[in-house]
């Protein structure tokens, strides 16, 4: 099963929920249950004990806890990492628990599903050290359409890869890239070098609109609570996680391409001119029988149940 990574909207609501609970409060201690979480040894994490939290920020998909004297805790939840807000001194879950950040008003638990522990915690000192954690991607909610386009065109990749490359664009992952490309009516496999000016503008506007809409939607869902169910598979999404279901715009069955630990979801009717993109595994299996149009797809898989592996 593919596990969704927290992306810009998810990390934003995490940051806002943490600010409401720990801003100005001292970090009593950090309890580590996994030796693999902490990736730095200097300065020691113990030196932050008693320090008040000056700010909580988002850096790409990372959460940054800011302390006095330019010291930082930088947490990357990666794919399966999640946060929980619990009463003070709460026990770290035995199977999923990685760490606990204890504050006077409560404890932030860090958990990670699965056996491959990828979440990472860094203790940094100095603004330069924090800057080195920045992958360099442009902020899609702050960039002008022209700056957004220049960032995408720095390298020639498919739009799907460019949108999810943190060196080019900050904070966007598998789920919201699908939604952005659907909103922009662009193929995920279109090359950035082949974007027209009108398409680039459409993509920049779609990125800002989708990210703003979903951030606001998550805020409304959470209210004054803490985001306990962070997932990229949401009923209101147009294509992501909706394989074989009808596109809410044109009704065509949503298709997907599965690769490694990710998948790309798209609508042939809205994004590829009715062409079904070849999924490597299934198209190799079917060979010449691979349906390349919506009409052929419907003939081979009545009800739109084709595409993807």
Rounded to whole angstroms, the Cα distance separating 3 from 61 reads: 15
- Of 172, 194, 222, the one marking the end of a domain is 222
Residue 24 lies in a domain: yes
What digits encode the pLDDT tens for the residues 78-129? 988 999 999 999 999 998 999 999 999 999 999 998 778 899 999 999 999 9
Share of the chain above pLDDT 70, in %: 88
CA–CA dist 22, 236 (Å, integer): 31
Is residue 138 in a domain? no
Residues 198 and 241 in one domain: no
DSSP H or E run through 23:
none
Region class of 78: left (phi > 0), else alpha (psi between -120 and 50), else beta: left
1 occurs within a structural domain: no
pLDDT at 211: 97
Last residue of a domain, one of 194, 222, 250: 222
Q: So what's the pLDDT on residue 298?
A: 45
Strand residue runs (E) in the chain: 29-32, 55-59, 62-67, 71-76, 81-86, 97-103, 106-112, 120-125, 255-259, 262-266
> Are residues 111 and 74 located together in one domain of the fold?
yes
Regarding whether 52 and 119 lie in a shared domain, the answer is yes
Round the CA-based radius of gyration of the chain to a whole number and report it. Answer: 21
Average pLDDT over residues 131-146: 95
pTM for the structure as a whole: 0.88
CATH of residue 65's domain is 3.20.190.10
Instruction: In whole angstroms, give the CA distance from residue 264 to residue 261.
Output: 11
Domain count, the chain: 3
Please say whether the beta carbons of 244 and 254 come within 8 A.
yes
The reply to whether 249 falls in a domain is yes
> Bigger pLDDT: 24 or 2?
24
pLDDT at 22 (0 to 100) = 98
- Please report, rounded to a whole number, the percentage of residues in the chain having pLDDT higher than 90: 77
Torsion sign over Cα 66, 68, 72, 75: negative
Residue 21: inside a domain? yes
Tell me how far apart the alpha carbons of residues 307 and 309 are, in angstroms, rounded to a whole number. 7
Lowest-confidence pick of 2-6, 48-52, 115-119, 305-309:
305-309
If one counts every other C-beta atom within 10 angstroms of the C-beta of residue 306, the result is: 23
Confidence of residue 280 (pLDDT cuts 50, 70, 90): low
Q: Which range among 58-67, 115-124, 273-282 shows the weakest confidence by mean pLDDT?
A: 273-282
- Is the N-terminal amide bond of 43 cis, ω within 30° of 0? yes
User: Do residue 21 and residue 93 come from a single domain?
Assistant: yes
Q: Which three-class secondary structure string do you get for 153-175?
A: CCCCCEHHHHHCCCCCECCCCHH
Burial class (CB in 10 A: 0-12, 13-18, 19+), 70: middle
Q: Please name the residues in contact with 246: beta carbons below 8 A apart, sequence gap of 6 or more.
A: 252, 253, 254, 304
Q: How far apart are CA 105 and CA 45, in angstroms?
A: 20
**Of 222, 245, 280, at which residue does a domain stop?**
222
Structure tokens at 309: 């592996």
Q: State the residue range of the domain holding 173.
A: 145-222
Mean pLDDT, rounded, for 143-167 = 94
């Amino acid at each position: 099963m593919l596990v969704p990574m927290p992306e810009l909207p998810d990390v934003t609501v995490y940051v806002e929920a943490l600010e409401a609970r720990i801003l100005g409060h001292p970090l009593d201690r950090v309890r580590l249950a996994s030796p693999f979480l902490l990736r730095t040894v200097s300065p020691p994490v113990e030196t932050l004990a008693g320090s008040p939290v000056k700010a909580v920020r988002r850096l790409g998909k990372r959460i940054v806890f800011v302390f006095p004297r330019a010291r930082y805790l930088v947490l990357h939840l990666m794919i399966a990492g999640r946060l929980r807000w619990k009463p003070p001194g709460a026990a770290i879950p035995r199977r999923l628990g990685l760490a606990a950040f204890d504050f006077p008003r409560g404890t932030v638990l860090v958990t990670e599903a699965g056996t491959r522990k990828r979440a990472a915690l860094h203790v940094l000192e100095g603004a330069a050290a924090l800057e080195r954690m920045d992958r360099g991607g442009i902020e899609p909610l702050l960039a002008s359409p022209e700056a957004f386009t220049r960032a995408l065109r720095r390298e020639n990749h498919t739009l799907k890869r460019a949108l999810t490359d943190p060196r080019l664009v900050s904070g966007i992952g598998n789920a919201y890239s699908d939604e952005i490309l659907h909103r922009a009516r662009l193929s995920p496999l279109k090359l950035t070098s082949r974007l027209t000016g009108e398409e680039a503008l459409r993509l920049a506007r779609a990125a800002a609109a989708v990210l703003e809409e979903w951030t606001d939607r998550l805020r409304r869902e959470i209210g004054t609570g803490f985001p306990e169910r962070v997932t990229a598979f949401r009923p209101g999404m147009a294509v992501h996680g909706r394989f074989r279901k009808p596109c809410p715009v044109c009704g065509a069955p949503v298709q997907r391409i599965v690769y490694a630990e990710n998948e790309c979801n798209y609508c042939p009717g809205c994004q590829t001119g009715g062409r079904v993109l070849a999924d490597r595994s299934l198209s190799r299996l079917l060979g010449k029988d691979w349906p390349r149009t919506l009409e052929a797809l419907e003939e081979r898989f009545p009800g739109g149940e084709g595409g993807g592996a």
